[in-house]
Amino acid sequence: MSTAARVIDDLTAPGIPARTRLRLASEHLAGGPTPQDHPVLIARLAEVVNGPGGDERVMHALGVYDTVVAQAA
């Protein structure tokens, strides 16, 4: 599985607290890109997840995502 796919799976995993999803995504990004990944995409994902204010931005986005998923269910 590509790093990008793992990160997306991590961030959208149902039933897992947002902070845990963020940590898992960060851990997978630390492994770097696989041959399937474009290095620029992985660098950009890492910048969003691990960059300044990333916790707040990503936590907010995960909260919105979780709300939409719950409403759609």
Whether residue 67 has pLDDT greater than 80 = yes
Task: Tell me which long-range contacts 49-52 makes (C-beta under 8 A, separation of at least 24).
Answer: 49/7, 49/22, 49/25, 50/26
Coil, helix or strand at residue 6: helix
Report the predicted TM-score, pTM, of the whole model to 2 decimal places: 0.80
The Cα 68–Cα 73 span in angstroms is: 9
Encode pLDDT of 1-60 as tens digits.
Answer: 999 999 999 988 888 988 899 899 999 999 999 999 999 989 988 888 888 776 787 888
Calculated CA dihedral for residues 15, 19, 24, 29, nearest 10 degrees: 130
